[in-house]
Structure 1
Amino acid sequence: MTQANRPNTGPDAMPDLFAYTDGACSGNPGPGGWGCLLIAREGGTVVKQKDLSGGAKLTTNNQMELLAAISALESLTKPSRITIVTDSVYVKDGITSWIHGWKKRGWKTAANKPVKNEELWKRLDAATASHEVMWRWVKGHAGHPENERADELARAGMAPFKT
């Protein structure tokens, strides 16, 4: 679901909620981590901030990027309007465009091959169902402070799995 142009004012207004997500992997596959910086703003002022992170011993960068977005949405305790900011074109294009064709074709690509990371895509699709989600792409490692923080969290999530 995407947000229409609605003012965020009045007694029922929700705070502006943002999730800055990132994944990291040492080797691909290899040990990896994901990170998410959740920020709630009211009137432009940060009123709440939460760090999330995790990782796995054997994973891929794309799996970690997906898990960052999934974890952001699954951490929400009630239906919300949220903007997910990712530096992954794979995640943004996958959830906003490609997924519709995959579902129509029974989780096959346009080349009739199985969709990679199908279970994670299904989990992300389910996680978006009760929220109004806007997706925004930013260039990674380009000086966006929140994206840089998500990257730090992803690397911290990976650290226990590196040997």
Structure 2
Amino acid sequence: MRDGTVFYVWHTDRVVALLAARGLEPDAAAAGAGRPKSRAKTDAAPRDTSAYGKVVATDGSALGNPGPTGWAWVDQTTGETGSGGLPHGTNNIGELLALLEALRHAGREVDLLVRADSQYVINIATTWAKGWQRRGWRKGDGKVPENLEIVQAIMAELEARTGLTDFEWVRGHNGDVHNEQADVLAVAAARAATAAGVR
């Protein structure tokens, strides 16, 4: 389900094909082959983070949108942070780069919770990109998705992970300490990219 609730369906191959066309995949846990690789939670209630080896908050920023762009992640488990910027981009590019770099930081084996205030990024990572990939990296209207190179890099990281990857939507600018910290770092990186004129 969209809220992260797992449900099971007895199916024929035709039903599986219909669900796959809508970006849904069978739950591997139901088939006894392990657990689903990634799940999204988009309601406002916080997830229990104690079950994860790493919890990472991400955020992106673009001054002017488009304009100087920054990205940042905050590892809530260790206190580590990472950030960077581009002299020109969009908020969506910043959000995507924040996720990509957070995945690279976390490593592949650990169970990971990514906390993001961008439903765009969560939808891409958990649903949309799988459908685009099945259609030869085309959207339903036949157009190439925006920021495709970054999206493909994110999907490669997710597919290579052996640990569980969950996503939690966090309401931005709403007092969440780690989301606010990631935002401050992303804005600072965008400003630094403006001053330096380099990535």
The CA deviation at 1:15 is 5.6
Contact 2:53–2:110 (Cα < 8 Å) also in 1? no
Aligned to 1:43: none
The letter for the 1-side match of 2:38 is T
The CA deviation at 1:80 is 1.3
The CA deviation at 1:127 is 1.3
Aligned to 2:137: 107
Aligned to 2:191: 159
Structure 1 alignment gaps of length 5 or more: 41-47
The CA deviation at 1:76 is 2.9
TM score, norm. by length of structure 1: 0.84
The 5 A counterparts of 1:113-152 are: 113-128=143-158, 129-130=160-161, 131-152=163-184
The CA deviation at 1:132 is 1.8
For 2:88 and 2:188, how far apart are their aligned partners in 1? 16
Greater RCO, 1 or 2 (C-alpha within 8 Å, sep 6+): 1
The CA deviation at 1:156 is 1.5
Relative distance call for 1:57 and 1:21 in structure 2 (3 A) is: same
Aligned to 2:59: 22
The CA deviation at 1:160 is 1.3
Aligned to 1:45: none
3-state secondary structure, aligned to 1:75: helix
The CA deviation at 1:16 is 3.3
> RMSD in angstroms over aligned alpha carbons?
1.9
3-state secondary structure, aligned to 1:54: strand
The 5 A counterparts of 1:33-112 are: 33-40=70-77, 48-112=78-142
Contact 2:38–2:126 (Cα < 8 Å) also in 1? no
Aligned to 2:12: none
Aligned to 2:14: none
Residue-by-residue CA offset, 1:22-56 (whole Å, 9 max, x unaligned): 0000122210101110122xxxxxxx210110000
For 2:127 and 2:68, how far apart are their aligned partners in 1? 29
The CA deviation at 1:126 is 1.1
Structure 2 alignment gaps of length 5 or more: 1-36, 40-48
* Structure 1 moving runs of 4+ over 6 Å: none
